[in-house]
């Protein structure tokens, strides 16, 4: 996209992006997304300016200018979550810029993000969860790779682990006991029970893995022996779901959702499930009760006799 920006404005934009990547430590993909979002915002402002838009014009934007941009985004079909992310990028830029050049960015920073409905988890059925793990075990001709993929997915589903938590396990935990102590988000620790199926899957992987699994080494390894990349786990799940005809929502994280939902279906206590998942707030775990209610409504709609 070619922007009619003044040289001074281009310099500020590039300085902000460098600040994000170098000083704030944002990932390259995040910086690229922020660049696209800010470029889109500036392009909208440039279309409403008769000449190359510079710092003075952009400093003088009003709340009504911001509302016009947000309305245009809505008109293009941009959803609440995407618009909130774009507004966040614009605010981040203006916050940094206002600190650098000492101007009042209140009209931009005071804009409220659009309300977002809580996104419900998308669990798999019990049968689909089992099928996807079995399918993952048949994707690679190398026995140890197949065993590794089955072990990881079994831990996600059988213990409710996040993908990063499973990949962060140390080989010194072998052989797995009846419980695992997991350090999750915010360094919050929790203890989760390990089902016999998960212990057996990890033991089988450890038996055939060609790499050194001594204490201090990562439990799950890539082909060359380094720590396994999380994207490869997502790729395995994608291949398995495509083979089974499952929706795109059947991701590694969906196995964790399935763990929680199936526990709730079996009469599990919400507080206990919160502890097992490592949620800081019970309100996060309560999303699974909405899933349960939604499923009941689907069954009702499909089976209730019509008048």
* Active-site amino acid positions: 162, 185, 253, 256, 279, 288
Which residues are CB-contacts of 80 (< 8 A; sequence separation ≥ 6)?
Answer: 114, 115, 116, 117
**92-96, Cβ contacts within 8 angstroms, sequence gap of 24 or more:** 92/16, 92/20, 92/34, 93/13, 93/16, 93/34, 93/38, 96/16, 96/19
Answer for the pair 151, 168: CB distance below 8 angstroms, yes or no. no
Name the 3-class secondary structure at 170.
Answer: strand
- Extract the tokens encoding 178: 């009846």
Token pair 């079909």 in the structure block, residue: 77
DSSP 113: P
How many Cβ atoms from other residues are within 10 Å of residue 63's Cβ? 12
How many Cβ atoms from other residues are within 10 Å of residue 44's Cβ? 15
How far CA 165 is from CA of 116, 184, 232, 278, in Å, comes to: 28, 7, 15, 11
Considering only CA atoms, give the Rg of the chain. Answer: 24
Answer for the pair 122, 254: CB distance below 8 angstroms, yes or no. yes
Task: Please calculate the CA angle 215-227-145 and round it to the nearest 5 degrees.
Answer: 100
Cα distance from N-terminal residue to C-terminal residue, the chain = 57
């Amino acid at each position: 996209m070619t922007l009619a920006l003044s040289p001074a404005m281009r310099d500020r934009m590039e300085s902000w992006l460098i600040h994000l990547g170098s000083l704030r430590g944002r990932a390259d993909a995040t910086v690229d997304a922020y660049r696209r979002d800010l470029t889109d915002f500036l392009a909208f402002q440039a279309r409403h300016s008769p000449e190359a838009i510079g710092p003075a014009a952009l400093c003088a934007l009003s709340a009504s200018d911001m509302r016009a941009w947000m309305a245009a985004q809505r008109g293009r079909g941009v959803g609440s979550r995407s618009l909130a992310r774009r507004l966040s990028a614009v605010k981040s830029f203006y916050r940094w810029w206002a600190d650098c050049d000492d101007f009042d960015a209140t009209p931009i920073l005071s804009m409220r993000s659009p309300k977002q409905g809580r996104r419900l988890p998308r669990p798999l059925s019990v049968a689909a969860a089992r099928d996807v793990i079995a399918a993952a075990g048949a994707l690679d001709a190398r026995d140890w790779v197949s065993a590794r993929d089955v072990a990881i997915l079994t831990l996600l589903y059988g213990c409710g682990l996040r993908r990063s938590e499973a990949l962060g396990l140390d080989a010194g935990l072998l052989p797995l006991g009846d419980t695992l102590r997991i350090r999750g988000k915010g360094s919050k620790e929790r203890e989760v029970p390990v089902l016999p199926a998960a212990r057996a899957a990890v033991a089988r992987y450890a038996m055939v893995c060609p790499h050194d699994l001594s204490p201090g080494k990562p439990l799950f390894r890539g082909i060359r022996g380094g720590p396994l990349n999380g994207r490869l786990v997502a790729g395995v799940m994608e291949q398995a779901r495509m083979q089974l005809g499952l929706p795109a929502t059947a991701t590694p994280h969906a196995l964790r959702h399935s763990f929680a939902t199936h526990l709730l279906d079996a009469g599990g206590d919400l507080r206990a499930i919160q502890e097992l998942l490592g949620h800081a707030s019970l309100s996060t775990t309560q999303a699974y009760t909405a899933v349960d209610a939604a499923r009941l409504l689907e069954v009702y709609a499909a089976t209730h006799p019509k008048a």
